[in-house]
Amino acid sequence: MIQYIGIERIKEIVRRVGAAKFMEGLALEIEADYRRWHEFDKSPRHAAHSPVGVIELMPISDGRDYTFKYVNGHPKNTASGLLTVTAFGVLADVDTGYPRLISELTFTTALRTAAMSALAARWAARPSSRVMAMIGNGAQAEFQAIAFRHMLGIRELRLFDTDPRATDKLIRNLAAFGLEDVNIMRCASTAEAVRGADIVTTATADKRNAVVLTPEMIAEGMHLNAVGGDCPGKTELHADILRRADARVIVEFEPQSRIEGEVQQLDASFPVIEFSDVVLGAARARENDRQVTIFDSVGFALEDFSSLRYLERLHRDIGGSQPKLDLIPPVRDPKDLFGDLLSGREQQQVRVRAV
């Protein structure tokens, strides 16, 4: 029987732990795995694109455990009452090839994306950062706001979305969550939202090369958390922001980011820093308070590997209901798979004839 984490179970786990503490714990798990970067067999995700979206598989292994995530991205889904992103994942033993956990990853992807954003900002943003602009107030926004408040001490959120209803939703949810110590400001434009911000998070959904941020919006010392550009032909930053002389661009896995990240706009020789080099001390995310730092986030399989192992541990430690799936047949004879398809009567006939 395979351990299974479905929608109700993940909600139970997150509520028991608390969303903010869940993301901080997950960030620590991700950071620990980035510190052993060279142990992993890595590759860019496999993507099947269509005019309306993308379906991707994201595999990775450290030689002991293997994981993959199935994830889609369909921005037009919301017009039909469907989610833009859905996902599930598998954690398996390398030695036997047997899966030991199947889990939803729709909620978990939102949680791990925010955890990774806040983790990267811990390394790259100025320690004094207290004001964050949120451009794009859709499904990812609450997770980002909570993670940055909890992990970086953000105390002012400046919000803008082209759909005012998305901002309404975000404000309601943050109030229900209890962010009383955070000053929340609704802004009339992107330019107004980023004015005076220490950190700017962009999390828009349109599958196109958009210009959400332009060079004149970027102030000295800002940290940009570019979350929305995550597939070929989908970007959010004007290319000249990346080309700034004082800019440092941090990516998760360079071969994947060159295809899907903001840096897809630039020549392959444009210099980037992999996040693993930052945590391992081979590179600095920020040299001084005047630099502009950019986390070009596309989401990488290692973060889902960390998430699935983190979920497996919490699932076990929290206890309670632990549903399982009969995914692997418990065969009596591993060389006689067909025999287990026979009915009880047919199996009895086989035994009689064997005698």
Question: Which of the residues are catalytic?
Answer: 230
Q: Is 234 helix (H, G, I), strand (E, B) or coil?
A: strand
Q: Are 287 and 123 spatial neighbours (Cβ–Cβ below 8 Å)?
A: no
Element (H, E) at 268: none
d(CA 93, CA 3): 13
Q: DSSP strand E in the chain: where? A: 2-5, 46-50, 53-61, 65-73, 87-93, 99-104, 131-135, 156-160, 183-186, 199-202, 209-213, 223-226, 235-237, 247-251, 273-274, 292-296, 324-325
Q: Are 46 and 70 spatial neighbours (Cβ–Cβ below 8 Å)?
A: no
Extract the tokens encoding 67: 């994981």
User: Which residues are CB-neighbours of 129 under 8 A, at least 6 positions away?
Assistant: 121, 152, 153, 154, 198, 199, 223
d(CA 61, CA 173): 37
